[in-house]
Amino acid sequence: MKTRALIFDLDGTLLDTIGDLCDAVNDALKEIGVPLHHTREDCCRFIGNGVDAFMHRALKEFDNEDRFARLKAAYLPKYKDYQGRTTEPFVGMKEVLRRLKDEGVLLFVCTNKPHALANIIVREKIGDLFTEIYGQIEGEPVKPNPHIINYFVEKYGLERDDCRMIGDSLPDVEIAENAGIRSVLCTWGYGQYTHELCERAWRVVRRPDELLGLFARRLYVFDIDQTLVPRGSNHINDEDRNAINALLERGDAIALASGRPFCSVKEHIDTLANGDKYLICANGGVSYDQDGVCLSASHLHLADLYHFKNRFLSEQVAVYGYDSNGSLALFRDSYFIELEELLCHVNPSDFVWLPDEMPTDFDRDLFKVLIAADPSISSSLDITESEKNHYMITRSDPMFLEVVFKGIDKASRADDLRKRLDIPAENVYCFGDSGNDMTMIKNFHGIAMGNATDDCKAVAEIITKTCDECGVAYALKEILHAI
């Protein structure tokens, strides 16, 4: 098994040190008689290139050789005394580091903080989780010079392809480039997260737990209607398609997840570039690979369709289902059946017309049942507690209630798929806009469209632009920095 290594910056990446740094430099400035006092925000801009650069920047217009030497001489002992007063690991960091070490990942620190101080504070605040901690030593170059990373690679026999440099600022991205390894930019630190910097990084992470998936690819799951395909259209937005194609070209896996049957989802997935593509159909009732091979399925029975037919079918309410062949099983024609023909491209010649009484010779299972009515009527339909306990019932649209097997939804099928692909849950990102997307948005990294329901937005980590504004591409490029 390959040895994997994560090399961490310290200030602003592992530890929130800025309070102690700020106090020490302000007291040192006061001691040498320089009339300056810096805020935490000032100090965030000053650090990143070693203690010497920090001293020069802190002196501003008072900088000269004499004051630099006196400030550094005053600062270092003060910081040695001050560090640890307010310094703490960023929330969740220690737990992530323990998991990474338990998984066999070698952990290192590469910092421009003075070597002795770095070793003291890391061991005090985090413990002995790191294989080695290497800070600035007088006479040696600082980041972005790659000599520390080169030292780790040579001493521990590491392959550069299996190393990642994790930091919060430009010098961390630059040292990775200079050392020939991949950079991971974390946005919880002190850096200036410009678009240009985020584009230079191999990956951008927003929380420490996202570090758990750095050696695995990602799975992106996209709802179709009003997420990729605008209302009134039957085509994925070009900008969104290009963004998804970039994911596929990078080697990530994607799935289109919809209430639609296989034939309708297949039309959309075939417009995407070659790659690792999957289909989640019937709101999670069934999943396929891109060639139509069924990966997993959970069925309803004809009796379930007749149960809802007997409860709700009327002149105002349509009740029908999709069978295991992707054909509509229905009792009567209606406006909603015409919608299925238009949106899902089901063929009327394949319709299965059912009698009022349940037949005994119907040998096909159902993936889902739909109950459709105008919004004013649909919103007043009374779903019993028994039905809620027996089925998974979601509202995919103001007109539609969709019924699948209990415990099955887009989220459960996405979870099945990521396990099949050996992708950690931390590397799953789900996009959607409506009630049948809520569980996958809640259970994974969830991105709600700008046109999503309030309930979806409430459980999402990120709210992007609307479908009409190509919100999928916007989130992938500008928020997640995935492409």
In whole angstroms, what is the distance from residue 159 CA to residue 163 CA? Answer: 7
Shared domain for 178 and 97, answered yes or no, is yes
Question: Does 172 have pLDDT greater than 80?
Answer: yes
In whole angstroms, what is the distance from residue 49 CA to residue 170 CA? Answer: 9
Shared domain for 68 and 95, answered yes or no, is no
Shared domain for 350 and 441, answered yes or no, is no
Contact 5, 105 (CB under 8 A): yes
What's the pLDDT at 342?
Answer: 81
Shared domain for 139 and 176, answered yes or no, is yes
Q: In what order do the strands lie in the sheet with 318-323?
A: 352-353, 328-330, 318-323, 366-372, 400-405, 391-397
Shared domain for 290 and 418, answered yes or no, is yes
- Residue 341 — pLDDT band, cuts 50, 70, 90? confident
- Residue 325 — pLDDT band, cuts 50, 70, 90? confident
Q: Please identify, among 383, 405, 427, the residue that sits at the C-terminal boundary of a domain.
A: 405
CATH of the domain at 421: 3.40.50.1000
What's the pLDDT at 1?
Answer: 52
Shared domain for 263 and 137, answered yes or no, is no
Question: Does 326 have pLDDT greater than 80?
Answer: no
| Domain ranges, residue 156 | 5-12+90-213
Shared domain for 228 and 333, answered yes or no, is no
pLDDT one-digit tens code per residue, 42-62: 999 898 788 899 999 999 999
Q: Whose CA is closest to 279, among 241, 232, 224, 236?
A: 224
Q: In what order do the strands lie in the sheet with 445-448?
A: 294-297, 286-289, 276-281, 253-257, 219-223, 428-432, 445-448, 462-463
Domain count of the chain?
A: 4
Shared domain for 99 and 165, answered yes or no, is yes
Shared domain for 94 and 208, answered yes or no, is yes
Question: Does 363 have pLDDT greater than 80?
Answer: no
In single-letter form, the type of residue at position 317 comes to: V
What's the pLDDT at 90?
Answer: 96
Question: Does 396 have pLDDT greater than 90?
Answer: no
Shared domain for 286 and 427, answered yes or no, is yes
Among all chains, which residue has been given the structure tokens 């080169």?
A: 150
Q: Please identify, among 356, 390, 405, the residue that sits at the C-terminal boundary of a domain.
A: 405
Q: Please identify, among 350, 385, 405, the residue that sits at the C-terminal boundary of a domain.
A: 405
- Residue 407 — pLDDT band, cuts 50, 70, 90? confident
What's the pLDDT at 47?
Answer: 86
In whole angstroms, what is the distance from residue 21 CA to residue 305 CA? Answer: 67
- Residue 192 — pLDDT band, cuts 50, 70, 90? confident
What's the pLDDT at 33?
Answer: 95
Instruction: Report the 3 state secondary structure along the chain.
Output: CCCCEEEECCECCCEECHHHHHHHHHHHHHHCCCCCCCCHHHHHHHCCCCHHHHHHHHHHHHCCHHHHHHHHHHHHHHHHHHCCCCCEECCCHHHHHHHHHHCCCEEEEEEEEEHHHHHHHHHHHCCCCCCEEEEECCCCCCCCCCHHHHHHHHHHCCCHHHEEEEECCHHHHHHHHHHCCEEEEECCCCCCCCHHHHHHCCEEECCHHHHHHCCCCCEEEEECECCCECCCCCCCCHHHHHHHHHHHHHCCEEEEECCCCHHHHHHHHCCCCCCEEEEEEHHHCEEEECCCCEEEECCECHHHHHHHHHHHCCCCCEEEEEECCCCEEECCCCHHHHHHHHHHCCCHHHCEECCCCCCCCCCCCEEEEEEECCHHHHCCCCCCHHHHHHEEEEEEECCEEEEEECCCCHHHHHHHHHHHCCCCHHHEEEEECCHHHHHHHHHCEEEECCCCCHHHHHHCCEECCCCCCCHHHHHHHHHCCCC
CATH of the domain at 360: 3.30.1240.10
Shared domain for 310 and 377, answered yes or no, is yes
Q: Whose CA is closest to 222, among 241, 203, 204?
A: 241
Per-chain mean pLDDT for the chain: 92
What's the pLDDT at 346?
Answer: 82
pLDDT one-digit tens code per residue, 130-139: 999 999 998 9
Shared domain for 359 and 474, answered yes or no, is no
- Percent of the chain exceeding pLDDT 70 equals 100
pLDDT one-digit tens code per residue, 426-470: 899 999 999 889 999 999 999 999 999 999 999 999 999 999 999
Question: Does 344 have pLDDT greater than 90?
Answer: no
pLDDT one-digit tens code per residue, 210-231: 898 888 889 999 999 999 999 8
